[in-house]
Amino acid sequence: MVDRSLIVTSGTTTQVKKVVVGRPVRRVQQAGNSISTAEDVDVSTLVNGSLLVYNTTSSKWTSTTELENQNINGGTY
């Protein structure tokens, strides 16, 4: 189902009056899946505090407590 939207522009402000895409979801149920059952995830070294880091050699997400090649940018304050 696709519905048409009405877009109103006034100066530099744009307002979308209506957006409809597909059918509304009435009820959501929890899946019985776990991230550890995914084919591209290796949690064989899982310990408390582990992170999943992508390993290009194995092409899998691997659990680790040590970060080696990550750049973390906390932003500007």
- Cα 15 to Cα 26: distance, rounded to the nearest angstrom: 27
10-28 confidence digits (pLDDT tens): 677 766 677 777 877 788 8
Q: What is the pLDDT of residue 20?
A: 72
Dihedral sign for Cα atoms in the order 40, 45, 48, 54: negative
This model's pTM is above 0.85: no
Percent of the chain clearing pLDDT 70 (strictly above): 79
Parts of the chain with a pLDDT under 50:
1
Distance in angstroms (rounded) separating the CA atoms of residues 68 and 2: 47
Q: If we measure between CA atoms, which residue out of 47, 45, 37 comes closest to residue 55? A: 45
Tokens of 70: 């990550």
